[in-house]
Amino acid sequence: MQEVAKLIVHALNLDTDPASIAPDEPLYGNGLGLDSIDILEVALVVSKNYGIQLRADHEDNEKIFASLRSLSDYIAANKAS
């Protein structure tokens, strides 16, 4: 989970300590405060680093990007070996 937090902070050049991102805090809107462009950036970095295709029209995007924990769990379950 901390690896994904570091990835998000680095990809978006956030002025936030990755360790301060609460696992269940929302990533989008209230919480970490990411917007749709930020989520697209995160999806690109996740795809590049973990070999996971995250499409804008994926029906589970809301659940996948709900929190650091949900994104990390999705990556762990779907990353290319």
Of the candidates 39, 45, 41, the residue with the CA atom closest to the CA atom of residue 66: 39
Domain CATH number, residue 52:
1.10.1200.10
User: Domain span at residue 6?
Assistant: 2-78
* 32 pLDDT more than 70: yes
Tally of domains in the chain: 1
Give the tens place of pLDDT for each residue, 53-79. 888 788 898 899 999 999 999 999 998
Question: According to the model, what pLDDT value does residue 58 have?
Answer: 82
